[in-house]
Structure 1
Amino acid sequence: MAASKKTTRKTPAPAARKSDAVLAATANDYPALLAEVKARIQSAQYAALRAVNQELVGLYWDIGRLIVERQQTEGRGKAVVAQLAADLQADYPGTGGFSASNLWRMKGFFETYSATAKLAPLVREVSWSHNLLILERCKDEHEREFYLRMTRKFGWSKNVLAHQIDNQSYEKSLLGQTNFDQTLTPALRAQARLAVKDEYVFDFLELGEQHSERELERALIARIEDFLRAMGGMFSFMGSQYRLEVAGREYFIDLLLFHRRLRALVAIELKIGEFEPEFVGKMQFYLAALDAQVRQEDENPSIGIILCKEKTRTIVEYALRDARKPIGVATYEITRTLPKELNDQLPSPEAITRLLESI
């Protein structure tokens, strides 16, 4: 009988095994590589756009300056602008931005900011369209500085900026009632004060004057993008009726957000009536539980916003005076009007300047 053949299994050479391992490792690392390259590309694109924007704004600044200087020396008034617009459009066909109306805007742009050394550098940090919006719709130097700084810091789009101006974010930020000066570090105080406004406008809601807290909460969640935009655009949604368990008992926060710049959880309690002092004690409890159970090591202390339909400013001031957790008390409206009696309560120009310089 012929001897049966013995089959043997070939063992892969060590070099082959090593090559397979390298390929596997490379495949596993590729998503990280791709993400890193894309981030670098985006960074370069942003830097290039920023450089182009600075050059464009600088060009318009110089054109405005030259018009002002020529009018001062020759006194030709409107004639020089009309002639300049016609010649520029003829010499640069297809290039926008050189109409007579735009040249007048450049002139006004230079005249508005040239005498303000503090603001002149800021205008180059935002786009020309942002500058025009701020120039045409803001009434004084401090208001313009506020929107310039906030646009630069938070990267507001033109639509978000327009929304913030419509909703009087400048006035409502300055009027905000918080205890942040006593409860937050100097590095966080100013930024937190600007993140929590005195009044929020939810004009996108289809709610009548009579509604429950639950109806308000559901309506806000149903329009979550509009809600986050109304809050300031730097918030992320973490949940509604956010559950906390303390000593075997359940507690629920109406809305929980996260502020990306502050790197802090923000608990929101919705109240359809007038502010009551006991609301502060409940919010302090929620913030203590969030800090102990939810807050990550690299995050800042949690912040609370008590959002009421009405409030008496003196009662809020007393209620917050000795509170140890950072809390703001605000009202909500479904219209865009700031009460006239509050217009005279804005801080002094010196106080406004100190706040804006910290942005």
Structure 2
Amino acid sequence: MDINQNYIEAVKNIKDAILRSQYRAAASVNKEQLSLYYGIGRYVSENSRKGFWGKGAIEQISSMLQKELPGLRGFSTRSIKNMRQFYEEWAVVLNRQPLTADLELDEKLLLVEIRQPMAAEFNWSDFLSVGFSHHIEIIAKAKTLEARLFYMHECATRYWSKYTLRDYLKADLYSHRGTLPNNFAQTLSDTKQALKAVCLFKDEYLLDFINVEELNEQEEDLDERIVEKAIVANVKKFIMTFGQDFSFIGNQYRIKVAEEEMFIDLLFFNRELNSLVAVELKSGKFRSSYLGQLNTYLSVLDSYVRKPHENPSIGIILCREMNQTFVEFAVRDYNKPMGVVTYRASEDMPERLRKALPDIEELKNCCRKVWF
């Protein structure tokens, strides 16, 4: 029996609300926990690295703690070493010259109030929202500050579990995330699927078969039809430009729901993603209203066109220009996987670059000489 799409949507919304609530509750205790672990990590580091503690000291201290506080969790030998690593890795970033009010240290309790560093790019809210186990995963696998800040932000805003984070770290999402604005990581539950989608699409495509001189007409719809016509007429070349494993299904693809007809500009299927890919063409600058339209198309595709064995449909808006920061903000709260990319024709390129490109006839002649 098919599950009602409304139920699936309701479960997703309730699940997201539960996760957000859990993260808010966790954030309220995280600062105290992280401060404690940071202080213990500093104490252990100073005494085990350059102090008087001998070999095996951490193991002995852990065992003695278990006897002093029966049932104590989180202070195994491995955990204490993690606290030391947590302090040592973040000390360079978090430790600035303290003011009297900045640092409160009780040598007996080892309670340290860690304060936000001066670095402008450091998101203190993200740091405190991420649990200690997440921090340790990030420290172990991400070696640059930029990468660590990226994964912290994703954990804090996407509500990743430790295991989801581990999958993305293993796949090196930071290095492969691409530059196109998208919401793939938050809308595709399968980590590998999200990573494939991020890696597949570029942020800009050169469509040199489009005649720019025909564009910029008074009616925007007419411009979009010109772009669509040029792509369909050169669909093989477009697919080669767009990416691997695409199959063209059709243009102005008709879908219908509740007696309402809608037409998708271009519909493809990608074998690598095992997903339908809907492409909406826009001849001008990106508008946030485009996302709502595309989100509806994807809902209908998933409900009435997608096969049971296929992954969720993906939407791409192909427009002439965009403000990337604005698009990233606009796309993040939609529940269907979407991305926004731009296209450029050869006439759009600077004159010096166009002159650097070889003439097509010259290339053909060179090929004839090589082959014949």
User: Which entry has the higher C-alpha Rg, 1 or 2?
Assistant: 1
TM range (shorter): 0.3 to 0.5
Q: Which has the higher contact order (CA 8 A, sep 6+)?
A: 1
